Structure 1
Amino acid sequence: MQITFKLYASLTDHLPPEARRSNQVLIEVPDGATLAQIIEPYALPMRLVHLVLINGVYVPPEERDTRSLKPGDTLAIWPPIAGG
Structure 2
Amino acid sequence: MKITLKLFASLAAHLPPEARSRHRVELELAPGATVADVIRHQGIPPGQCAIVLVDGAWVAPPERSARMLAEGEVLAIWPPVAGG
Question: Would the TM-score normalized by the shorter structure come out above 0.5?
Answer: yes
Where 1:12 maps in the other structure, the secondary structure is helix
CA apart distance, 1:19: 0.3
Count how many residue pairs are aligned between Structure 1 and Structure 2: 84
Q: What 5-or-longer segments of structure 2 have no aligned partner?
A: none
In structure 2, what residue type is equivalent to 1:15?
L
Give the alignment's Cα RMSD to 1 decimal. 0.7
CA contact (8 A) 2:39 2:45 kept: no
Cα deviation per residue 1:27-59 (whole Å; 9 max; x = unaligned)?
100112111111112110111011100001100
Q: What 5-or-longer segments of structure 1 have no aligned partner?
A: none
CA apart distance, 1:23: 0.2
Give the TM-score normalised by structure 1. 0.96
| Percent of residue pairs bearing the same amino acid type | 50
